[in-house]
Amino acid sequence: MEAYLDNAATTRAFDSVKDIMVETLSIDYGNPSSKHLKGVEAERYIRDAKDIISKRLKVEPKEIIFTSGGTESNNMALIGTALANKRRGNHIITTRIEHPSVHNPLIFLEENGFQVTYVPVNQYGNVILEELLNAIGEDTILVSIMYVNNEIGSVQKIHEISKAIKTKNPNVIFHVDAIQAFGKYNIYPKREGIDLLSVSGHKIHGPKGIGFLYVKDKVKIKPILFGGGQQKGMRSGTENVPAIAGLGQAVKEIYENHDEKIKNLYYIKKSFIEKVSQIEGTTINGVGDRLEDSAPHIVSVSFEGVKSEVLLHALEEKGVYVSSGSACSSNHPALSGTLKAIGVREDLLDSTLRFSFSVNTNMEEIQYAVNILKELVPVLRKFRRH
């Protein structure tokens, strides 16, 4: 048996996504910039996907820019906004628990004269609002805060944060990395006060290599890719029609019977936490008294006395697939900044795994994974003591 519990890293594409992509690769394969019928047919897929996404977010189609994925969306939001607004100020605010695709562009901006303030979070990974507000000044041009943390599943009160930011300084642009949140929550940028929103396709059963950035109308942002002027000059390059069509289909399908899907995810998460907590020396990270205050699909577990990488590969041999943190930082292994920021004990920083679920996850997989953990953890602890 197999148990794929690494859905925060990537999800299996819906069959309907695969089907529409095959259609655009084999039948409607024209370049959407071409003026002939094949080009018009290809362009229709882009328009349809934009309509699906904009209706879901309750925004205008012109406010959606397709990108190569979450990383590009975050880079475009941060670098593009900083460059476009540098005459107004050079101060940016973020948190200590952001994804590398936010953290690293900000390091780049710091190296190029911008000032970045990193505000702390509490033990559950929630932004300390007072600290955030204290950091906002007249020269603050941008605040970037993720909706759902990719390692521990903490959920920020985005509307409340936005309201507080805009009250302190109405000119601040608010960027939200919603890569782990979109598909799990009903997100309405205009209602929640979000100016820029990043989304990735492969987290919601769409293809890899595609995402989008919502840019609120009239928000000043500069492109970071230049070429043939596609997407009104905001993101040059021939549009990836198969991936865009697949993304639109994934958005459509992930939100069908949405409440039921999320209710089931919370049931799976609750069951997993109850079962894995029976193993001696386990700690669940970032979850408070109310399970619903955390995301429905992510659980961070520390296993005292067991190296995370050793346990990860031992699970892999039994067909259980999990992560030791953010998949995007796995090429540069280091102790998690998120776990440090929420105060996880030092001896547990290198003993933590992330288990993440999707609409495809079932209770048989959960039970199998827990059984394997109960078998492996005591053995690996003995081995480490020797």
Question: H/E element holding 377?
Answer: helix 363-385
The SS3 assignment for 47 reads helix
Q: Tell me how crowded residue 335 is: count the other CB atoms within 10 A of its CB.
A: 13
Q: Which of 83, 225, 328, 349 is catalytic?
A: 328
Separation of first and last alpha carbons in the chain: 31
Q: How far apart are CA 244 and CA 248, in angstroms?
A: 6
Q: Quick one: CA torsion of 187, 189, 194, 198, rounded to 10 degrees?
A: 60
Segment holding 92, helix H or strand E: strand 91-95
Tell me the residue type at 179. I
The type of residue at 319 is G
- Burial class from Cβ neighbours inside 10 Å (0-12, 13-18, 19+) for residue 10 reads middle
What percent helix, strand, coil does the chain show, rounded to 5? Answer: 45, 15, 40
Tokens encoding 83: 């460059």
Q: Which residue has the tokens 């598909």?
A: 183
- The sign of the torsion formed by the CA atoms of 243, 61, 227, 106 equals negative
Side chain identity at 357, as an amino acid letter? Answer: F
328 a catalytic residue: yes
The Cα–Cα gap between 322 and 57 comes to 31
* d(C-alpha 182, C-alpha 266), whole Å: 16
Q: Cite the active site residues.
A: 328
